[in-house]
């Protein structure tokens, strides 16, 4: 047996999430006294995975799998898990991994725990800590099946480099027409922008910004920080910003290292969605805004004055530390 | 077209989250329960298919008798029939197996379930029922049209969206975007009166094992006080983020 990890890539480059799940799998493997095998579908340079603790990479090169297809990808990972006799399969929390993980769990007859935030609390019985109630609580989940699927929360574990190197092996899964019932016809993706899921820093604007015409400074701040932009629910409901930027309980969850909220009051639903972020900064002119109770750092002041100054100071900081 | 909307009975989004019995159970004391928001977007989209395309819409929930008011609300919004599988919804895999049975018995063409419930956030039930029934599946769905036996589906991906087509039967993991927040319906008096007369069938669960179990809950450790920075000294924030928080 080994620990199997699905290392996601895009445009033949591994995503950061791939290195994070590899780092995590390495430590789970150490707890269980075994090795890590990665599944790479039309992926990047396998030697990169060795740096994060992967011992063996099953490389799949197949034109049929050039665009993501949850059913087909789940089928491939299942076949790899069976070949390797894997008892634990680790996936990330990207949109694609969350799409395929439940299918994989059924194929492997495995218990599946999503949004896992740390190493197993124990391996016998197998217990993991995960977020629940949209980050308002955690629960310890016991998985009782022989094979387990773990969905690791983004940015929950971080990257851990190892001195090892990975051996590559070609893997040829058998695919059936049944796997391709869903056919992708178009992808609309801003390639020059950092997505909220991948971002280490997220800059978010709320109703306090008064209108969509004022988002220039939010985008500039995000640009300086290499951050993704996000917004509160009222802002997306009023159509100031696209839905895809809405973060909160009914929007996207955020688990960034730094979350900067500007003109966001901090409704309980918003806070729930962003609570998993490590450091939170709020800029708001209302000292009573609930966000100040949830934040690590705060500035009580007019965003239209504070944000341009912050951009200026950050630019100075970046040029001094370049 | 026969549509089934899967409904989770969850605490209202503003609920205070507490636990009882040595932090092993969710404390329902004083908590208002609602239709899971991700399911409500799907239910509203299903109403559109009913009104514009003559679809029939059933709703199903896995839960005890205490979840019936939530199913009645779905009937008041306009669903035709409700089904309650009479067992506690403890594990996603277990719930998916119960719903897969309901789907097979009812021969539904389209099943819409929320991408996740806002209580356990498992995010596994829609995908699992597709794998159990063999139907096509699209998750995090923000747009859905059906023409004959083919659906056009828009899915939210990291940093954008993706359009695909799939033949029915189809399972959807739905969320906001399927309809807008402003399209959600509040049941009116007539709907509530009619809902009382609509069939709510209680079925007993099939035998299935429980694969995962939430054995213990924890609340996040309370946060320390916020460090306030003077708006005239914004540079200090940059220094703190670099030296103290070490995030830039």
B92-106 and A95-107 helices cross at what angle (nearest 10)?
80
What band does A1 get if pLDDT is binned at 50, 70 and 90? confident
* Predicted confidence (pLDDT) per residue in A273-287, tens digit: 998 899 999 999 999
* Predicted confidence (pLDDT) per residue in B72-99, tens digit: 999 999 999 999 999 999 899 999 999 9
* Predicted confidence (pLDDT) per residue in A106-154, tens digit: 999 999 999 999 999 999 999 999 999 988 999 999 999 999 999 999 9
* Predicted confidence (pLDDT) per residue in B126-151, tens digit: 999 999 999 999 999 999 999 999 99
Query: % helix / strand / coil in chain B, to the nearest 5?
Result: 30, 30, 40
Q: What does the alpha-carbon distance between residue A274 and residue A268 come to, in Å, rounded to a whole number?
A: 10
Q: Select the residue of A95, A243, A297 nearest B157 (Cβ to Cβ).
A: A95
Segments in B134-243 forming alpha helices (H): 189-197, 235-239
pLDDT at A190 over 80: no
State whether A258 and B157 contact (CB < 8 Å). Answer: no
Give the long-range contacts of residues B20-28, CB within 8 A, separation 24 or more. Answer: B23/B216, B23/B217, B23/B218, B24/B215, B24/B216, B24/B217, B25/B217, B26/B119, B26/B217
Q: Select the residue of A190, A194, A297 nearest B229 (Cβ to Cβ).
A: A297
Name the minimum distance, in Å, from the CA of A304 to any CA of chain B.
11
Q: What does the alpha-carbon distance between residue A92 and residue A149 come to, in Å, rounded to a whole number?
A: 11
* Predicted confidence (pLDDT) per residue in A241-253, tens digit: 988 899 998 888 8
pLDDT at B33 over 80: yes
Q: What is the pLDDT at residue B159?
A: 86
**How far is the CA of A277 from the CAs of A117, A200, A312, in angstroms?**
12, 9, 25
Name the minimum distance, in Å, from the CA of A311 to any CA of chain B.
10
State how far Cα A224 lies from the chain centre: 22
Spell out which residues of chain B touch residue A198, defining contact as CB-CB under 8 Å.
Answer: 158-159
What band does A322 get if pLDDT is binned at 50, 70 and 90? confident
State whether A100 and B127 contact (CB < 8 Å). Answer: yes
What band does A215 get if pLDDT is binned at 50, 70 and 90? very high
Q: Does B161 touch chain A (CB under 8 A)?
A: yes
Task: Enter the pTM of the model.
Answer: 0.93
State how far Cα A122 lies from the chain centre: 24
Q: Does B233 touch chain A (CB under 8 A)?
A: no
pLDDT at A197 over 90: no
Spell out which residues of chain B touch residue A129, defining contact as CB-CB under 8 Å.
Answer: 218
Q: What does the alpha-carbon distance between residue B206 and residue B221 come to, in Å, rounded to a whole number?
A: 40
Classified as helix, coil or strand, A305 is helix
Average pLDDT over residues B61-72: 98
H or E stretch at B154: strand B150-157
Segments in B135-234 forming alpha helices (H): 189-197
pLDDT at A52 over 80: yes
A230 within 8 A of A196, measured Cβ to Cβ: yes
Share of chain B above pLDDT 70, in %: 100
* 31-60 in chain B: CB under 8 A from chain A: 37-38
B110-114/B33-35 β-pairing: unpaired
Name the minimum distance, in Å, from the CA of B181 to any CA of chain A.
7
Spell out which residues of chain A touch residue B118, defining contact as CB-CB under 8 Å.
Answer: 133-134, 249-250
Q: What does the alpha-carbon distance between residue A28 and residue A32 come to, in Å, rounded to a whole number?
A: 6
Give the residue from A47, A38, A42 showing the smallest Cα distance to A18: A38
pLDDT at A82 over 80: yes
Mean pLDDT of chain B: 96
What is chain A's length? 322
Q: Any idea of the CA torsion for A199, A99, A127, A158, to the nearest 10 degrees?
A: -20
A95-107 and A70-84 helices cross at what angle (nearest 10)?
50
Q: Select the residue of A181, A189, A250 nearest B37 (Cβ to Cβ).
A: A250
The two counts, helices (H) then strands (E), for chain B are 6, 15
Count of C-beta atoms within a 10 Å radius of residue A133: 23
What is chain B's length? 248
Q: Any idea of the CA torsion for A131, B171, A251, B246, to the nearest 10 degrees?
A: 50
pLDDT at A93 over 90: yes
Q: What is the pLDDT at residue A194?
A: 83
* Predicted confidence (pLDDT) per residue in A6-31, tens digit: 999 998 899 999 999 999 999 999 99
B68-77 and B37-53 helices cross at what angle (nearest 10)?
30
Give the residue from A297, A244, A293 showing the smallest Cα distance to A267: A293
Q: What is the pLDDT at residue A133?
A: 93
Segments in B162-208 forming alpha helices (H): 189-197
Count of C-beta atoms within a 10 Å radius of residue A47: 13
């Amino acid at each position: 047996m080994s620990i199997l990890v699905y290392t996601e890539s895009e445009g033949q480059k591994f995503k950061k999430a791939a290195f994070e799940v590899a780092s995590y799998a390495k430590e789970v493997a150490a707890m269980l006294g075994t090795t890590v095998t990665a599944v790479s579908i039309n992926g990047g340079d396998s030697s990169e995975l060795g740096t994060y603790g992967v011992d063996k990479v099953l490389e799949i090169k197949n034109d049929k799998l050039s665009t993501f297809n949850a059913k087909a990808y789940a089928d491939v990972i299942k076949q790899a898990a069976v070949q390797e006799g894997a008892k634990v399969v680790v996936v990330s929390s990207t949109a694609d991994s969350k799409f395929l993980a439940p299918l994989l769990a059924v194929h492997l007859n495995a218990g599946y725990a999503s949004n896992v935030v740390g190493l197993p609390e124990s391996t016998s019985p197998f217990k993991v800590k995960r977020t629940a109630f949209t980050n308002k609580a955690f629960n310890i989940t016991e998985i009782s099946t022989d094979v387990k699927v773990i969905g690791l929360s983004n940015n929950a574990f971080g990257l851990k480099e190892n001195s090892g190197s990975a051996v590559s092996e070609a893997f040829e899964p058998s695919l059936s027409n049944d796997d391709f019932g869903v056919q992708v016809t178009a992808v609309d993706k801003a390639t020059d922008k950092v997505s909220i899921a991948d971002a280490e820093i997220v800059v978010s604007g709320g109703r306090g910004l008064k209108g969509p015409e004022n988002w220039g400074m939010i985008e500039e701040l995000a640009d300086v920080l290499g951050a993704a932009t996000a917004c509160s629910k009222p802002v997306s409901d009023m159509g100031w910003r696209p839905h895809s930027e809405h973060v909160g309980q009914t929007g996207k969850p955020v688990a960034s290292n730094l979350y900067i909220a500007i003109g966001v009051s901090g409704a309980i639903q918003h806070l729930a969605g962003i609570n998993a972020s490590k450091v939170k900064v709020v800029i708001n002119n209302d000292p009573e805004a609930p966000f100040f109770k949830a934040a690590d750092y705060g500035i009580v002041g007019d965003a239209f004055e504070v944000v341009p100054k912050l951009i200026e100071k950050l630019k100075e900081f970046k040029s001094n530390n370049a | 077209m026969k549509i089934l909307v899967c409904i989770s009975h969850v605490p209202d989004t503003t609920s205070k989250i507490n636990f009882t019995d040595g932090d092993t159970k969710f404390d329902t004391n004083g908590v208002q329960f609602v239709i899971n928001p991700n399911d409500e977007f799907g239910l509203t989209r299903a109403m559109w298919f009913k009104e514009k395309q003559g679809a029939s819409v059933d709703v199903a929930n896995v839960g005890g008798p205490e979840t019936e008011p939530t199913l009645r609300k779905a009937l008041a919004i306009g669903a035709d029939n409700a089904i309650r599988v009479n067992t506690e919804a403890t594990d996603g895999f277990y719930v998916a197996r119960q719903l897969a049975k309901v789907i097979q018995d009812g021969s539904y063409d389209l099943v819409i379930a929320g991408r996740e419930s806002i209580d356990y956030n498992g995010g596994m039930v829609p995908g699992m029922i597709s794998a159990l029934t063999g139907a096509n599946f699209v998750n995090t769905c923000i747009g859905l049209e059906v023409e004959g036996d083919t659906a056009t589906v828009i899915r939210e991906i990291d940093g954008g969206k993706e359009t695909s087509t799939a033949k029915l039967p189809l399972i959807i993991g739905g969320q906001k975007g399927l309809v807008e927040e402003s399209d959600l319906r509040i049941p009116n008096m007539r709907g509530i009166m009619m809902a009382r007369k609509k069939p709510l069938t209680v079925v007993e669960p099939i035998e299935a094992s429980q694969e995962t179990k939430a054995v213990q809950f924890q609340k996040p450790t309370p946060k320390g006080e916020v460090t306030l920075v003077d708006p005239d000294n914004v540079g200090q924030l940059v220094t703190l983020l670099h030296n103290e928080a070490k995030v830039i």
